[in-house]
Structures are given as structure tokens and as C-alpha cells.
A and B are shown apart, each in its own frame.
Chain A
């Protein structure tokens, strides 16, 4: 079974509107971390936001927020006021366990977001 599932291969959003990118995860660990990265066409991986399994508040970073529903094992990324520069691939990732298996991240397959002017 996949550890990280992103069910939306592609998404479109109108500029200035909000968009939610879905992510569900599968783990039996109590301690884990969830991350979102953005990958523009140039290829670099840009860290956006982090949510720890024990964090009670949803994480927010500027226009990015994470809708964390622990019981559902979902960690959806919400981008508010979309901009043309938000067009990119978005990856959800997880780090499991206290030691984090040396810190490796397990990535989902990604969602390609296209922002329309």
C-alpha cells in the first residue's frame, strides 16, 4: 500500500482563488511529520510547510495552510489567493517514527497545479 496518496494528478485554479491539494497518508507510527514541497518546471524542490503529528494547530505559512485531520489521516494543502507563479508540481511527503528512519521523506506522486490568468 502507498504511504502517501495524492489523488489529483492535475488541478486548475483561477488566479486569486483558493485551491486545496489533497494528501492522505498511511502509517502506524504515533510520531511522524508531514511536509509539502513545490517543484517548478526548473526542478528545484521548495519546502512550503510542515505539520507534526502532535501539533494541535494546523500549520500556516503565509498563503499556505495545512488542513490536518489526524483521524482521517489527511494533510491537505490549501493555497489562498493563487498566483501565476504557483503553477508547479506539489508533493506531499512524510517522515515516520521518532528517529525518522534517518530522516528520509516518503513522497507522494504529486499534483500538477496550473493557475489560469
Chain B
């Protein structure tokens, strides 16, 4: 089955620093990747849609300058949380869509738990 690898799984950083999260599709090419944020005991909230070779599309209310997304290849997308603050602490999870498979499920990474102190 399709595998998406997300690193790191946990990160603790100090306020004001930046954190990069990587999302890789290991055995398929992902033209589109999605970044979600999940608060405790809540659902997944889409942050942005990332297409290979083009700028990401951000959802309303998501600061594009704070959450930088780069989709440099068909197998790699990165999310950088810039100048992190404690309110950015959350669970971030990426997912990838297999090219040409409209009715296929999104394949998710295992998520990254970010804690900003």
C-alpha cells in the first residue's frame, strides 16, 4: 500500500525559532499534498493544499508567512512553522493524493506533535 513518511514525529522548540516538517510519499508520486492541523480531541483542519512546482493554496485564516509550504518534487513537501509561538503547539499531519486516482483515499503521514515552549 501507499506509504507516506512524516518527520519528525515529535519536536519541542523554543518560542521564536522555526521548525521544518517533512512529508514524503515513499512508493508513489504525489502531485498534491495536504497539510492539516489537529487540536486535542478535535477534527482535522485543512491548512493548505500543496501542488508540486507551484505555490501552495492556503485556507482562510491560515497565515502563509507563518506556515511556509514548499512542494519541490513529486515525493516531498515541507511545512516550516516560522517564529513559532506557544499557540502554534499542535498536531500537524500531512497527506498525499496518488496521481490520477480521484476516488482513492488520502494517504496520511503519522503526524508531528509540535510543542513550543
Contact = CB atoms under 8 A, between A and B. Distances in A.
A, B in one complex? yes
Interface of A: 33, 35, 37, 42-45, 47, 50, 52, 91, 95, 98-100, 102-105, 107-110
B77 interface: no
Contacts of A35: 105-106
Interface residues of B, number: 24
B113 interface: yes
Contact of B103 (A42, A52, A104): A52
Interface of B: 32, 34, 42-44, 46, 49, 51, 57, 91, 93, 95, 97, 102-111, 113
A20 to B, nearest CB: 20
Contacts of B42: 109-110
Contacts of B34: 103-105
B46 A100 contact: no
5 contacts: A35-B106, A45-B44, A91-B43, A102-B97, A103-B106
Contacts, number: 60
A68 B77 CA distance: 35
Nearest to A105: B106
B33 to A, nearest CB: 10
A45 B111 CA distance: 9
Given A52-B103, A102-B32, A110-B43, A43 B113 contact: yes
A35 B105 CA distance: 7
Interface centre among A33, A42, A98, A103 (most CB of B within 10 A): A103
A56 to B, nearest CB: 15
